[in-house]
Structure 1
Amino acid sequence: MYKGILLSLAASCLFGVVYYYPVLLKPLSVVDIFCWRLLMSFPAIVLLVFAERRWQAVVELFRRVQAQPLFLLALIFSASLVAVQMLIFVWAPLSGNALSTSLGYFMLPLTMVVAGRVFYKEHFSLFQKIAVILALFGVISEVYITGAFSWETVIICVGYPVYFMFRRGMNIDGIAGTFSDFFFIALGCLVYFIVQYDMQKIIEDVVHFHIYIPLLGIITAIAFAAYFSASHLLPLGLFGLLGYVEPILLAVVSIVFLNETISSEHLISYGLIWGAVCILILEGVIYTLRNFKYKRIS
């Protein structure tokens, strides 16, 4: 279990590094960095599929396209949904919006809980009810005080539930679906390079960032490998609980390394939302401890 905890923490730390990484690749554009990241990462996804022995699931997924040609549109739409999220992940630290984007990741567990209640009739626990109420007051406070709610925060915390619900609705398998998403996004990146780049520009990028570009793929590969390995080694409750580490690290990167600050007008709304997340973390801790105690007794 300790190995799983270390792997999960390592994955979160590496994703935190990737969050800061676009700063190291200036003056490349957001789309350039995004495409390099995907093209460098895709081989790692292929290796992960083989390591997890899930290649047959990938084959079955694409066989569905043969049987149902319109299913191809579903796979492309799924890839498009996650591509938007990944673009924001690159754009945020370069545009001074890293902190508001990290807030979206803080709110994500809450919007997932709400989506489960609304669309799948899942019941709120007492802790979840308190957390949702706190988050709701946080959003209302933000809209009232600032007159708006950051669009990047909304896209992150709403977009991912839509993405996961769509994949569930289309019965797209986990790792096979991840392979499909990366495959179509990487294909789009290749088209972008062919249309916008020439060979000289590609060579210039690789020569100028001869360490940083390949390293981006390596870090992403290790992060995904650690994440998937941890998911197999840890109980589901503990694995979900450790998932809160990543948004905390994204906020730390935003404040410490990207020099962003929380203005006084955001303190109330951010505080309420972070308080809601703490409630969910508390529930996760209690649930995990109860499971450990039950297993020891049995």
Structure 2
Amino acid sequence: MSATRLGNLLAALSFVAYGLLPLYYALLPGAQMDELLALRIVTSAPAMLLLILLLGRQPLSLTAIWSDRRSLLLCLVASLLMCVSWYSFTWALTHGQVLAASLGFFINPLMAVALGVLFLGDRLSPAQRWAVLLAAAGIGYQVWQYGELPWLSLVMGGFFALYGLVKKYIRFDALNSVMVEALLLVPLALAYLLWRHESQGLTAASSGFTTLLLYLGSGPVTLIPLVLFTLAINRTSLTMVGLMQYIEPSLQFLLATLVFAEAFDEVKAVSFGLIWLGLGLCSVEALLNSRRRAL
């Protein structure tokens, strides 16, 4: 399997895993987002270290990390960008806004494509151009009908697109870069948890053992798709990753409407329909290109 095909497969698996996350966070309705974010950071670092060791990889030494200060700084930037995107994403999932999360990650590929073209020299195929135009039309129609910008969705998708762009410039390998991102924020997360425990108590610790486990599991459960995404981002183009990301919001859309019974009106039907049409064009183009290469 070529590096590009492997990258595409890893990206697809990443977005399937992301798409199914609402099922996990449905178990934490109205979660305390500050605690959830801090615990995710704290548990992510040892989970990443364990994963690296289990895969037989070598964790980066402190000397190696410090010797590449540019990548270290970019890891800090990436971790902060991911915190904003993750916070808005999990807030939506734990507050009955799964459709908003779905829209956020329908918007994200548009932003990822734009960043890829502007900063990385990616070029769009004819089907990709149509996909971008149709997705923009679908989102624009929803904004026009509702009379307001979907701020939660825009923040979620925009910051994740910026995260993907920054990852392109980090020279650490995929797994170690995610570990470094987590490690950089662990001291802040621990300090916040200690302060909150002393000042008002931790909701995660006072809501029962099952709830505590769910809070603690928020780190590892979100690391799986993030690691797959990180492995994919350096093996394929940002444009391709951006367009494949439609897998995630499509799954979230199905969960929102079929499992969580969120309202889906005619405006959303038109908006999502235009976006899915663009995805279909890209899929057909990719299939035809694959057959031509096989011949």
How far off is 1:170 after superposition?
5.6
Q: Does 1:29 align with 2:32?
A: yes
Pick from 48, 61, 65 the counterpart of residue 61 of structure 1.
Answer: 65
Distance 1:262 1:230, change over 3 A: same
How far off is 1:173 after superposition?
4.5
Pick from 226, 236, 257 the counterpart of residue 259 of structure 2.
Answer: 257
1: distance between equivalents of 2:60 and 2:128?
A: 38
What's the counterpart of residue 211 of structure 2?
A: 209
How far off is 1:156 after superposition?
3.0
User: What is the letter of the counterpart of residue 245 of structure 1?
Assistant: I
What's the counterpart of residue 286 of structure 1?
A: 288
**Which TM-score applies when normalising by structure 2?**
0.77
Unaligned runs of 5+ in 2: none
**Which TM-score applies when normalising by structure 1?**
0.76
- Relative to structure 2, which stretch is displaced further, 187-196 or 240-249? 240-249
How far off is 1:230 after superposition?
8.5
Unaligned runs of 5+ in 1: none
2: distance between equivalents of 1:7 and 1:174?
A: 12
SS at match of 1:81: helix
User: What is the letter of the counterpart of residue 44 of structure 1?
Assistant: A
Q: Does 1:165 align with 2:165?
A: yes
1: distance between equivalents of 2:290 and 2:155?
A: 30
User: What is the letter of the counterpart of residue 61 of structure 1?
Assistant: I
Pick from 248, 251, 254 the counterpart of residue 250 of structure 2.
Answer: 248
SS at match of 1:209: helix
SS at match of 1:39: helix
Distance 1:211 1:167, change over 3 A: closer
Is the 8 Å Cα contact of residues 110 and 136 (structure 2) preserved in structure 1?
A: no
User: What is the letter of the counterpart of residue 266 of structure 2?
Assistant: S
Distance 1:256 1:197, change over 3 A: farther
Distance 1:100 1:174, change over 3 A: same
Distance 1:277 1:121, change over 3 A: same
Q: Structure 1, residues 256-279: CA drift from partner, whole Å, max 9, x if none?
A: 233212222332222222322232
Q: Structure 1, residues 194-229: CA drift from partner, whole Å, max 9, x if none?
A: 11114974643563525434544554455566x379
2: distance between equivalents of 1:183 and 1:206?
A: 28
**Across the two proteins, how many residue pairs are aligned to each other?**
283
Is the 8 Å Cα contact of residues 98 and 254 (structure 1) preserved in structure 2?
A: yes
The equivalences for 1:47-196 within 5 A come to 47-50=50-53, 51=55, 53-56=57-60, 60-65=64-69, 73-169=73-169, 171=171, 173-196=173-196
TM-align CA RMSD:
3.7
SS at match of 1:155: helix
Distance 1:9 1:104, change over 3 A: same
Distance 1:107 1:283, change over 3 A: farther
1: distance between equivalents of 2:30 and 2:49?
A: 30
Distance 1:248 1:180, change over 3 A: same
SS at match of 1:55: coil
How far off is 1:29 after superposition?
0.9
- Identity score, percent: 22
